[in-house]
A and B are shown apart, each in its own frame.
Chain A
Amino acid sequence: MFDTLSDRLTSVLQNLRGKGRLSDADIDATAREIRIALLEADVALPVVRTFIAKVKERAKGSEVSQALNPAQQVVKIVNEELVEILGGETRRLNLAKNPPSVIMLAGLQGSGKTTLAGKLARWLVGQGHRPLLVACDLQRPNAVTQLQVVGERAGVAVYAPEPGNGVGDPVDVARRSIDEAKHGQNDVVVVDTAGRLGVDEEMMRQAADIREAVQPDEVLFVVDAMIGQDAVTTAEAFRDGVGFTGVVLTKLDGDARGGAALSVREVTGQPILFASNGEKLEDFDTFHPDRMASRILGMGDVLTLIEQAEQAFDQEQAEAAAAKVASGELTLEDFLEQMLAVRKMGPIGNLLGMLPGAGQMKDALAQVDDKQLDKLQAIIRGMTPAERDNPKMINASRRLRIAKGSGVQVRDVNELVNRFFEARKMMAQMAGRFGFGGPGRVSKTRKGKKGKKGKGRGPTPPKVRGGMPGFPGGLPPMPTGGGGPSLPPGFAGGMNDLPPGFDPSKLKLPKNPKDN
């Protein structure tokens, strides 16, 4: 079993290592893996089919990249294709020239419409509007009350003339709400409707009637990110029964891969406008196609990272540095060079955020900022080339000189040197253990590590029970993962050359080197 597309593709394309280009046979072999990965992500089968056809098409005429191996190439194509479909046409909410604008919400039961109504209202307030929430779910017990509470929390007016619980005509309420809005000088009307099934003709007609009555500028189809294969049937039913102009994905704070996003987008052609990711009113965001694509593939933002890295790094230098890490010969000079490259990619905090699983390093991150890195750089720069190459020669008097030169305390220089030695040793040990290093050193760790790998759980690994210092929640499951977390799936087993077991969290770095 494989968790992510890249794991799968890697296993299929293992024998193709180094070939660097895709043959038709490769493409066919990968198609099946893409299919399964997408199905596991809940992309609807018919959509999977058309999608794969597209990917095959593109892969066949694909530009050969020297930078990427076959698995990476396929992943890249899949990812780009996903982003394109998901993003296609992004647009802003349509509002009427003559207020009030009307936004109507529709969807299955339990998809999160009422909560969303509150979030949308709050967001609209933030955009300088004066929304009015309208309670047209007169079906579910106390949906009206819920909307009233939500409206109060969002600090907006709620129009709820009927008690609900089966009493009142939602079409009538919707119709009257427009006047109410004009009266109250509300420039946007948000109509919350009852959840309904696509097969419930009576209820679908009611939704169409509401639409007819208020002539909305937007009808938003609210869909739960956890929905499975039914996404297509339901989306079609709502498209045909009510007609919608945009989609909102809810419950993205869970760990569902959210393949439904692709299904709904592809089948109905309507854009996904918002993503809702929490129970609080502010857990609401515009939709990011690239994040969604990575999520469906289970890869965090690793692809973005690859792209940025490709731009910032010098290939040969990086390889040389990797080899040195493995042999424990990494010098401060190498470190400085690579660090400068890394920093070209943006603030270190953002960078770490892009490493899937590094979210758990948040605590650690909070303690590091770019200023500290500046200081680090300054210290290293204060050293002579000889010192950088051989930090061992940095004796007390040299330390004093370096400290003076870079405007820091001697203690800072001491710490840096000591920690660097420790860290370098760790890195080398780990690299040795996991068999990564220079070219030709292929990982032999695949079966070296025992234990079951975790099952695919999407980009946000479910929190492991109980608090864990350091890495609470664990990094995403590893392809071969034994004892623990490791690199993000996207570039662990996924990329041919990476040692599957290479695990930064195994590092036990000295907190205070003076203790030893």
Chain B
Amino acid sequence: MSSTVILIVVLVVVVLALAVGAGVLVARKRRISLTEAGKSEKPKDKPQGGGYATGSAISLAPGGRTETVEPPVEASPPADVEPATVAEPVEPVEADAELVEVVIEVEPAPEVEAEEIEPPSGRLERLRGRLARSRSTLGQGLLGLLGAGDLDEDSWTEVEDTLLMADLGAATTEEVVTRLRAELSTKGVRTAEQARAVLRSVLVEALRPDMERAVRALPHETAEHGKQPAVVLVAGVNGTGKTTTTGKLARVLVAGGRTVLLGAADTFRAAAAEQLATWAERVGAEVVRGKEGADPAAVAFDAVKRGVEAKVDAVLIDTAGRLHTKTGLMDELGKVKRVVGKLAEIDEVLLVLDATTGQNGLAQARVFGEVVDVTGIVLTKLDGTAKGGIVFQVQRELGVPVKLVGLGEGADDLAPFEPEAFVDALLA
């Protein structure tokens, strides 16, 4: 009893005091589901022919709901990069009830040649190279799994530690270990090498290698309007690498001979639009931006409008970093999506997660998924020591694949997500 009772009494008294003293109506809390909204109502459009993804380059797919004209392709750099077209200024948006008027500035893509673009194969090399940085004693530990006939608890602990330290989380780690135990015994594994292979395959399996990971950033054809740009929305909490990812993705597209327009819908953070503009210049893309403090939905709307008019191949919208706990800001993001949706279907909503993020990554993904129906995850900063294991839970719970990984601050440090490569890095 004891202090608990005291606490009950404290609470009762406080509630009574509120009720009696102030007549405050304590309303029954409505039940709110965090999971349902938007989950089932919209079947995800699967891009066709995902088999193109060989894993050596970022796989791209057309946006749009229906008939796709272009098959998914892999971005590969053309011999020379054409600069994007020069744009005329766009008028402010009118007529949309939800929009406020903003003055939009369009900066044309630079006439200069964009920097030389690294071939995609280089990216993968880098992925492999950087990921396989440190070696651990896991191999030896696994030997212990088999040694002396039976299970060696130390080795299990070591496997568990590896997974925990990779941010898989306690629950997922336990599941993987359970699976591993089962597999090891059914498969009659004899060597550490085999055990390692089993662990690897259990982990790869858990990452669902069958998921479609093409980024829907290619234009699609519609009956009435002809070519429509793919619209990609980039979102995430503060500092995860949204702007950088937007820039890098633009680079991949431009390298593939596409025209890209960037929408600077981060009108909040100081110098955010300039940052994106710098990226636009760097990679050879046009940028649409609003004044600081402008309505991000209006800027995004204008960017897409401008993109449609200019018949670009893709419009990438960078949004302000926002913590998923801030209702107002999340509503704002929902509005960006809704408003843009009046003009064009958003083909891809990328949630940018920082690989250093721990268990909170799941909470982020849940809320963003609910608000803007995330279609792909970008895992950034995998060039550091963090392993990014939170994506196991994120992928599973949201059913949304990790599509891209960020491997550095350079324009070419973007690579496709491959479960095998990821697991190898995790076990390295």
Answer whether A and B are interacting partners: yes
Interface residues, chain A, CB within 8 Å of chain B? 1, 36, 39-42, 44-45, 66-69, 72, 108-112, 139-143, 145-146, 148-150, 153, 165, 197-199, 224, 226-231, 233-234, 237, 251, 253-257, 259-260, 279, 302, 305-306, 309-310, 313, 315, 318-319, 321-322, 325, 335, 338-339, 341-342, 345, 348, 351-352, 355, 361, 364, 367-368, 372-373, 375-376, 415-416, 419-420, 422-424, 426-427, 436, 439, 454-455, 457-458, 460, 462-466, 468-471, 473-475, 483-485, 487, 491, 495-498, 502, 504-513
Q: A310-B6, A491-B7, A498-B7 are in contact. Are A462 and B367 (CB under 8 A)?
A: yes
In angstroms, Cα B274 to Cα A496, docked, is: 56
User: Do the beta carbons of A108 and B384 come within 8 Å of each other?
Assistant: yes
CB distance from B410 to the nearest CB of A (A): 10
16 contacts between A and B (CB under 8 A): A139-B409, A141-B247, A142-B274, A226-B357, A302-B7, A313-B9, A325-B12, A367-B22, A372-B22, A422-B19, A462-B324, A462-B363, A465-B330, A505-B28, A508-B27, A511-B24
From B60-68, B165-173, B196-204, B222-230, the one touching the partner chain is: B165-173
Q: Indicate whether B359 reaches chain A with its CB closer than 8 angstroms.
A: yes
Contacts of A469 in B (CB 8 A): 27
What chain A residues lie within 8 Å of B164 (beta carbons)? 39, 45, 229
B259 at the interface (CB under 8 A from A): no
B316–chain A nearest beta-carbon distance, Å: 16
Name which residue of chain B comes closest to A351, CB basis: B14
Q: Does chain A have a CB within 8 A of B13?
A: yes
Q: Are B360 and A315 in contact (CB under 8 A)?
A: no
- The answer to whether the Cβ of B313 comes within 8 Å of any Cβ in the partner chain is no
- Scan B311-353; emit 1 where CB is below 8 A from any A CB, else 0: 0000000000001111100100000000000000000000000
Contacts of A416 in B (CB 8 A): 20
Most chain A Cβ neighbours within 10 Å, of B6, B268, B274, B371: B6
B43 to chain A, nearest CB (A): 22
Which one of B29-37, B73-81, B140-148, B211-219 contacts A?
A: B29-37
Output the least CB separation between B18 and chain A (Å): 6
Interface residue B161 (Cβ < 8 Å from any Cβ of A):
yes
Residue on A nearest B328 in the bound complex, by CB: A463
B residues in contact with A45, CB < 8 Å: 161, 164-165
Contact check, A224 vs B363: say whether CB atoms are below 8 A apart.
no
Contact yes or no, B28 A465, CB < 8 A: no
Contact of A254 among B3, B24, B28, B325 (CB under 8 A): B325
Complex formed: what's the CA distance from A359 to B301 in Å? Answer: 37
Please tell me if B270 contacts chain A, counting CB pairs below 8 Å.
yes
B149 at the interface (CB under 8 A from A): no
Contacts of B32 in A (CB 8 A): 464-466, 468, 474
**Known A72-B3, A511-B23; contact A351-B10, beta-carbon cutoff 8 A:** yes
Known: A302-B7, A335-B13. 6 other contacts (CB 8 A): A141-B282, A226-B356, A322-B9, A345-B10, A462-B324, A506-B28
Q: A415-B23, A507-B15 are in contact. Are A142 and B275 (CB under 8 A)?
A: yes
Contact, CB under 8 Å: A457 / B279: no
Write the chain A residue with the least CB distance to B354: A110
**Contact between chains at B26 and A508 (CB < 8 Å):** yes
Residues on B with beta carbons closer than 8 Å to the beta carbon of A66: 2
- Quick check: is B97 within 8 A (CB to CB) of the other chain? no
6 nearest CB pairs, A to B: A228-B358, A110-B239, A470-B27, A149-B270, A42-B358, A230-B386
**Residues in B neighbouring A226, C-beta threshold 8 A:** 237, 354, 356-358, 360-361
CB distance from A278 to the nearest CB of B (A): 9
Please determine whether B4 and A495 come into contact, CB atoms closer than 8 angstroms. Answer: yes
B29 pairs with A470, CB closer than 8 A: yes
Contact residues, B274-290 vs A (CB, 8 A): 274-275, 278-279, 282
Q: Are A458 and B360 in contact (CB under 8 A)?
A: yes
- In the complex, chain B residues whose CB is within 8 Å of the CB of A149: 270-271
CB < 8 Å neighbour of A487 from B11, B20, B240, B241:
B11
B8 touches A335 (CB 8 A): no
Whether B21 sits at the interface, judged by CB under 8 Å, is: yes
Residues on A with C-beta less than 8 A from B9 are 313, 318, 321-322, 325, 338, 341
The tally of residues in B whose CB lies under 8 Å from a CB in A reads 88
Q: Which residues of B contact A148 (CB under 8 A)?
A: 271
| Distance A502 CA – B330 CA, assembled complex (angstroms) | 31
Question: Do A259 and B27 touch (CB < 8 A)?
Answer: no
Does B25 sit within 8 A of A, measured CB to CB? yes
**Chain B minimum-CB-distance residue to A72:** B3
- Contact indicator A251/B20 (Cβ below 8 Å): no
Question: Known: A254-B237, A255-B325. Is A322-B27 also a contact (CB below 8 A)?
Answer: no
Which A residue's beta carbon lies closest to that of B367? Answer: A462
**Which residue from chain B places its CB closest to the CB of A151 in the assembled complex?**
B270
Shortest beta-carbon distance from A458 to chain B in Å: 7
Bound complex: CA of A512 vs CA of B20, how far in Å? 10
A254 & B323 in contact (Cβ 8 Å cutoff): yes
Residue from B4, B15, B169 in contact with A496 in the complex, judged by beta carbons closer than 8 Å: B4
A367 — nearest CB in chain B belongs to which residue? B22
Given contacts A110-B354, A419-B19, A470-B29, contact A319 B5 (CB under 8 A): yes
Report which residue of A257, A339, A485 has the largest number of chain B beta carbons within 10 angstroms of its beta carbon.
A339
A336's nearest neighbour on chain B, judged by CB, is B13
Let me know if B17 is at the binding interface, CB within 8 A.
yes
The docked-state distance in angstroms from the alpha carbon of A36 to that of B357 is 18
Task: Given A153-B270, A226-B360, A504-B26, check contact A463 B15 (CB 8 Å).
Answer: no
Cα A420 to Cα B18 in complex, Å, equals: 11
Asked if residues A375 and B359 are in contact (CB atoms below 8 Å), the reply is no
**Chain B residues near A305 (CB-CB < 8 A):** 7, 10
Min CB–CB distance B23 → chain A (angstroms): 6
A361→B71 CA distance, assembly (Å): 55
**Cα distance A179–B9 when bound, in Å?**
63
B241 touches A68 (CB 8 A): no
A420 touches B271 (CB 8 A): no
Q: Which A residue's beta carbon lies closest to that of B358?
A: A228
> What's the Cα separation between A108 and B275 when bound, in Å?
18
- Min distance, Cβ B332 to any Cβ of chain A, angstroms: 13
Distance to closest chain B CB from A445 (angstroms) = 14
A511 CA to B25 CA, complexed, in Å: 5
With a CB–CB cut-off of 8 A, which chain A residues contact B270?
Answer: 145-146, 149-150, 153
